[in-house]
Amino acid sequence: MLTGCSIGVGSEEPATSASQDEGGGSASATGSEDEGGGSASATGSEDEGGENSSEELDTQAGEPGVDPEEPPEPIATVEAPATDSTGEPTTLTVDLLEARREDELLVLTFRFTPAEGDGKPQWLYHYLGQQTWAPQVIDTTNLRVHDVVKGEGQPKPLLTDYQGTKFGPGQRYYAFAVFAAPPEDVESVTVNVVGGARSLTEVPLS
């Protein structure tokens, strides 16, 4: 369950026709389950600061509706290239935990886990090389690409703030993103999670 935002059919960037080659390869949505790894408030600063407490990360996990003590099993998992706080390359394990229809919307829930290392906690924005987080859903049945929607009367996309809670190596960070739902007869989609990572294919919708 999402909290802290009004979800209605707001605006979406016009859906575009999907290319036959989405680029970056693909990962099947039947990935191994043991490949472990509401909008967060933008309270971070350029000072990377100390490591967040478990309580802070547990609170953040509740915003996309995840119980950190009993998280769901991943639908799919992909390894994404990332950058740690020292500027060195690292890896983010990204688990897709849920792809759930809510009326005319589709809510995706993710878990990001940086590889163990010496880096300090930082925003998702910094792990992504100071790039915005802009996942996409591809309706391969109708060859349509969907970007994250905007809430009714809201200027920002409906997804977890990628410059909100900081998380360090080995810590789990939960996030959600909201899209326009594909037609009811569409049973699975492809998901582009982050740039540079393989697409997640045949993701089942619930």
Domain extents in the chain: 16-204
Closest CA to 175 of 122, 121, 130, 135: 135
Lowest mean pLDDT, pick from 9-13, 83-87, 122-126, 128-132: 9-13
Task: Check: CB of residue 41 under 8 Å from CB of residue 87.
Answer: no
**What residues contact 9, with CB distance under 8 A and at least 6 apart?**
104, 105, 149, 152, 180
**What residues contact 28, with CB distance under 8 A and at least 6 apart?**
76, 200, 201, 202
Q: What distance in Å separates the CA atoms of residue 35 and residue 14, rounded to the nearest whole number?
A: 34
pLDDT digits (tens, 9 = 90+) for 153-196: 888 999 999 999 999 999 999 999 999 999 999 999 999 999 99
Q: What distance in Å separates the CA atoms of residue 120 and residue 49, rounded to the nearest whole number?
A: 8
Q: What distance in Å separates the CA atoms of residue 42 and residue 175, rounded to the nearest whole number?
A: 14
Give the pair of three-digit tokens for residue 20: 């036959």
In the three-class reduction of DSSP (H, G, I as helix; E, B as strand; rest coil), residue 139 is classed as strand
Task: Check: CB of residue 127 under 8 Å from CB of residue 82.
Answer: yes
DSSP H helical ranges for the chain: 54-62, 124-127
What mean pLDDT is reported for the chain?
Answer: 81
Is 12's pLDDT higher than 80?
no
**Residue type for 133, please?**
W
pLDDT digits (tens, 9 = 90+) for 94-109: 999 999 999 999 999 9
pLDDT digits (tens, 9 = 90+) for 60-81: 676 667 787 888 899 999 999 9
CA-to-CA separations, 52 to 20, 49, 70, 133, 168, in angstroms, rounded: 42, 9, 20, 21, 8
Long-range pairs, 39-44, Cβ under 8 A, ≥24:
39/4, 39/5, 39/63, 39/158, 39/159, 39/160, 39/161, 39/164, 40/160, 40/161, 40/164, 40/165, 40/175, 41/161, 41/164, 42/161, 42/163, 42/164, 43/164, 44/123, 44/163, 44/164, 44/165, 44/166
Give the pair of three-digit tokens for residue 80: 């994404």
